[in-house]
Chain A
Amino acid sequence: MFKIKRTLGILVATALLGGPAMAEELTIGLASEPTALDPHFHNLGPNNAMSRHIFDRLILQDERQQLVPGLATEWYPIDDLTWEFKLRQGVTYHDGSPFNADDIVCSFERAPNVPNSPSSFGTYTKGKTVVKIDDFTIHIKTAKPYPLMANDVSTIPIVSSDSGCDATTEAFNDGSAAIGTGPFKFVSYSPGDSIVMERNDNYWGGASIWSKVTFKPLKSGPTRLAALLAGDVDIIEGVPTTDITMLTKNAEVSLSQGVSNRVIYLHLDHDRDDSPFVKANGGGAIDNPLRKLEVRQAISMAINRDAIVDQVMEGVAIKAGQLLPEGFFGVSDSLAPVDYDPEGAKALLAQAGVGDGFELTIHGPNDRYINDSKIAEAIGQMLTRIGIKTQVETMPRSIYFKRASRGGPDDTPEFSFILVGWGAGSGEASSPLKSLIHTYNRDAGFGASNRGRYSVAAVDAVIEEALATVDDEERAALLAKATEMAINDVAIIPLHYQVNTWAAKKGLKYIARTDEYTLAIGVIKE
């Protein structure tokens, strides 16, 4: 039994940033637009970032995705199957109505059940029963011990049982139901054009320094940058890497950078004996060499991660040796990025019996990750240098992800060797382990993005054990162990962690977030 009490940190932080209420307006240029203001409609980054302004969660994720109190002040398991949450008292909605436990119960009911939702919160509410104990205490019960309770709960936006729970998505979009407890109040929403909010002076965490915030979707990179330089917007996210050097010399612009929770990695076909995009020299069939550990190690050693970071990413990335950057929960201390060693790689290929190399095609998206197609091309050249003659094929993400996930016969992955990225939304290592490394298992919900169909029973066992271990320390150790087993077996080949860049006009600064969100409360004055 243990307790989590972390009420003070965020309160002090927000109070310091709060300052006196003045008429200060902020305009933010967004790289991607939310698809609705209904916080439960679409469980995806841009929507979740936007809904953070109007709606709170029981538990919030800070800029490093550490869990901090939100509408709950304390949370702890009271037995193996029940978590108790103590709710914050005295909180009111934007319309003045009080917040209490009924809102939690109905928000958890609404979150997975919004009609026409293209991606629901069902992944996080599944298997949980929310019970009201009194107005400011709730219990969440599960059928099995569930250590990730706090992480899951931190994703669910809380709407009012009076005005929000029965409202349609349209009612949220026109503002009539967009009533939360968050730091900003709805003013107007015009899809494709702007979203405007004003400060909630009664915010429990202290009022924001911004009296009015306008979000403008500016999806094209050059346009976004021009809008900043012309003074149309005060801050932009997703600064194109090619412009960063120019901007560092511009005295009118202040850059903020931070590592994200996103690892860019290569997945290899561990499954098929005859993999469709692996051929012998000359194009004949070959027994899938990617299934040999030496070959996978050779590929990893053949990749010059420093060159990718310096040349392709213009220095704006950190080379990766595992699934999440250091500092996140459950990462390993003993894994380092693999060193570039083309001679060693050739020796390993010879040892594996493919010293003369083979032919391979790497597939990747060209509009999903920062410089994705250039990275794929660089890897193609590096592998060709050690004798694996590599073709590069990149395509728009609208085509790529479907084919990579289920483009083959019987909805199997189509490709043999792919470039992908993974952002750990929960901010800890079980997210990639569960989805990328664990054996594909439809019924248990494991390995949904395991596009290499990596499957090792021993690794699965450690992951499952971690997911059933409530003790934080023990779970962290198990997650680290599973990561080490998978990475040492080259289940995937990590390349680098993305670094995100925000650019603001002089005098402003952004507190960079690992989850890539752009939040008005994170924009501070220098």
Chain B
Amino acid sequence: MTVFIIRRLLQAALVVLLMSLIVFFGVNVIGDPIDMLINPEADQAEIERAIKALGLDRPIGEQYLFFLKGVASGDFGRSFIFGEPALKLILHHMPATVELALVALIMAILIGIPLGLFAGLYPDNPVARGIMAGSILGFSLPTFWVGLMMIILFAVVLGWLPATGRGDTAVFLGIKSSAFTRDGLSHLAMPALNLALLKISLVIRLTRAGAREAMHQDYIKFARAKGLRTRRVIGVHLLKNIMIPVVTVLGLEFGNLLAFSVVTESIFAWPGMGKLLIESLLQLDRPVVVAYLMIIVVVFVIINLAVDILYSILDPRVRLREQGT
């Protein structure tokens, strides 16, 4: 297990390095942010001063080496735009995104699994057919459109929920989140549902497919023959066995939720990392973009690792095989 984790971490370090190289040079090819940052009335001397202040007068290779040197000591550089350390800026925006992604994930599990299970157990029931039709909509409607429609319906027409932003936060168990206040939850509801919609559909489909397949397996038949109650057959024997694909997919999807909730965050003006990324990209704020993507690679590696460990808990066979190597 330890060897496995170390190997994973080494792989991750290599990926992070390669990615920083590609992004660093990629953003540089597009252009530099000077023309967007500088006051248009500035004269040539001031433009040159600003280019120098941001270190953009140096050859790109030298800039990259300087950046690597900084990273080695935990310094990812300063945002061209905000003048603050890129890492600090990202960490400032991170809680809002983590909170949004977690709530969306919980929604996907709490809504997706029961509905999927129902659809798998009673495939011919009209309600089950309705669920499946609904999940197709969840897949195919574009997020930004659904988001705008939700705003129009719930915020503008009905006036039930606020249209934008993050609400009041409160500290609970040492965690500061808007999920602990009424105002915060009302702000959270729409963007989280918007973000969760696709995942809910995904979970419904996976759970249904798993349930239908497992229903005909010998162990289910045996459990039934043993005279176990239906609730136990489904809740323990069936559910545990169909969870593996669901956990894998949700794990990877959680990474996606964290890293690329860009559309939802932009529409709902959610002050998270996704909005920071898209704005940094548009303004060519290279230090933030590079640091952000490096962090995301690390997050993905950690999530994959966590998924692997969860596997071994859910499926004893995985653990056995690893002990053999």
Name the contact of A398 in the complex, choosing from B49, B89, B159, B283 (C-beta under 8 A): B283
Q: Which of A423-464 touch B at CB < 8 Å?
A: 423, 425-426, 431, 435, 442, 445-446, 448-449
Judge whether B266 and A223 touch: CB under 8 Å.
Answer: yes
Given contacts A117-B83, A402-B32, list 11 more A-B pairs with CB under 8 A.
Answer: A36-B82, A122-B45, A220-B266, A229-B155, A230-B159, A230-B163, A230-B164, A399-B30, A401-B35, A425-B40, A431-B41
Number of A-B contacts (CB under 8 A): 160
Kindly provide the distance from the CB of B87 to the nearest chain A CB, expressed in whole angstroms. Answer: 14
Kindly provide the distance from the CB of A42 to the nearest chain B CB, expressed in whole angstroms. Answer: 7
Interface residues on A, range: 35 or more
Q: Taking each of B46, B49, B93, B155, which has the highest tally of chain A beta carbons within 10 Å of its own beta carbon?
A: B46
Judge whether A398 and B31 touch: CB under 8 Å.
Answer: yes
Judge whether B38 and A119 touch: CB under 8 Å.
Answer: yes
Contacts of B31 in A (CB 8 A): 398-399, 402-403
Kindly provide the distance from the CB of A426 to the nearest chain B CB, expressed in whole angstroms. Answer: 7
The answer for the CA separation of A233 and B164 in the assembled complex, in Å, is: 9
Kindly provide the distance from the CB of B288 to the nearest chain A CB, expressed in whole angstroms. Answer: 12
Q: Does B24 contact A (CB under 8 A)?
A: no
Of A79-87, A187-195, A350-358, the one with at least 4 CB within 8 A of chain B? A187-195
Judge whether A445 and B43 touch: CB under 8 Å.
Answer: yes
Judge whether B36 and A397 touch: CB under 8 Å.
Answer: yes
Q: Taking each of A115, A192, A217, which has the highest tally of chain B beta carbons within 10 Å of its own beta carbon?
A: A192
Kindly provide the distance from the CB of A329 to the nearest chain B CB, expressed in whole angstroms. Answer: 15
Q: Does B205 contact A (CB under 8 A)?
A: no
Q: Does B200 contact A (CB under 8 A)?
A: no
Q: Does A123 contact B (CB under 8 A)?
A: yes
Q: Which of A489-516 touch B at CB < 8 Å?
A: none
Q: Does B271 contact A (CB under 8 A)?
A: yes
Interface string of B234-278 (1 = CB under 8 A from A): 000000000000000000000000000000001111011001100
Kindly provide the distance from the CB of B186 to the nearest chain A CB, expressed in whole angstroms. Answer: 11
Chain A interface residues (CB < 8 Å from chain B): 35-36, 41-44, 115-120, 122-123, 169-170, 173, 190-194, 216-220, 222-223, 226-227, 229-233, 367, 396-399, 401-403, 405, 422-423, 425-426, 431, 435, 442, 445-446, 448-449
Contacts of B268 in A (CB 8 A): 223
Q: Which residue of chain A is the closest to B276 with respect to CB atoms?
A: A192
Contacts of A426 in B (CB 8 A): 41
Contacts of A43 in B (CB 8 A): 39, 42
The answer for the CA separation of A403 and B30 in the assembled complex, in Å, is: 10
Judge whether A425 and B43 touch: CB under 8 Å.
Answer: no
Name the contact of A118 in the complex, choosing from B81, B162, B267 (C-beta under 8 A): B81
Contacts of B39 in A (CB 8 A): 43-44, 119, 123, 425
Judge whether B82 and A35 touch: CB under 8 Å.
Answer: yes
Contacts of A445 in B (CB 8 A): 43-45
Q: Which residue of chain A is the closest to B281 with respect to CB atoms?
A: A398
Contacts of A398 in B (CB 8 A): 30-31, 33, 36, 282-284
Judge whether B43 and A401 touch: CB under 8 Å.
Answer: no
Judge whether A118 and B53 touch: CB under 8 Å.
Answer: yes
Contacts of B308 in A (CB 8 A): none
Q: Taking each of A118, A173, A222, A422, which has the highest tally of chain B beta carbons within 10 Å of its own beta carbon?
A: A118
Q: Does B279 contact A (CB under 8 A)?
A: yes
Contacts of A194 in B (CB 8 A): 165
The answer for the CA separation of A402 and B34 in the assembled complex, in Å, is: 8
Q: Does B228 contact A (CB under 8 A)?
A: no
Judge whether B269 and A216 touch: CB under 8 Å.
Answer: yes
Contacts of B93 in A (CB 8 A): 191-192
Kindly provide the distance from the CB of A279 to the nearest chain B CB, expressed in whole angstroms. Answer: 26
Judge whether B49 and A122 touch: CB under 8 Å.
Answer: yes
Judge whether A192 and B37 touch: CB under 8 Å.
Answer: no
Q: Does B152 contact A (CB under 8 A)?
A: yes
Judge whether B163 and A227 touch: CB under 8 Å.
Answer: yes
Contacts of A116 in B (CB 8 A): 53-54, 78, 83
- Known contacts being A223-B267, A230-B159, is A448 close to B53, with CB within 8 Å? no
Contacts of A120 in B (CB 8 A): 46, 49-50
Q: List 27 A-B contacts (CB under 8 A).
A: A35-B82, A115-B53, A116-B54, A117-B53, A118-B81, A120-B46, A123-B39, A123-B42, A191-B93, A191-B271, A192-B93, A192-B272, A193-B165, A216-B165, A216-B269, A219-B279, A222-B148, A223-B163, A226-B156, A227-B164, A229-B156, A232-B163, A232-B165, A401-B36, A402-B32, A425-B41, A448-B43
Q: Does B300 contact A (CB under 8 A)?
A: no
Judge whether A193 and B166 touch: CB under 8 Å.
Answer: yes
Judge whether A226 and B152 touch: CB under 8 Å.
Answer: yes
Q: Which residue of chain A is the closest to B151 with respect to CB atoms?
A: A226
Kindly provide the distance from the CB of B173 to the nearest chain A CB, expressed in whole angstroms. Answer: 22
Interface string of B47-64 (1 = CB under 8 A from A): 101100110000000000
Judge whether A435 and B40 touch: CB under 8 Å.
Answer: yes
Name the contact of B35 in the complex, choosing from A122, A193, A222, A402 (C-beta under 8 A): A402
Kindly provide the distance from the CB of B89 to the nearest chain A CB, expressed in whole angstroms. Answer: 7
Q: Which residue of chain B is the closest to A48 with respect to CB atoms?
A: B39
Q: Which residue of chain B is the closest to A441 with respect to CB atoms?
A: B44
Q: Which of B139-153 touch A at CB < 8 Å?
A: 148, 151-152
Judge whether A448 and B83 touch: CB under 8 Å.
Answer: no
Judge whether A191 and B269 touch: CB under 8 Å.
Answer: no
The answer for the CA separation of A448 and B159 in the assembled complex, in Å, is: 50
Q: Does B232 contact A (CB under 8 A)?
A: no
Q: Does B92 contact A (CB under 8 A)?
A: yes
The answer for the CA separation of A30 and B164 in the assembled complex, in Å, is: 13
- Known contacts being A42-B37, A118-B38, is A191 close to B284, with CB within 8 Å? no
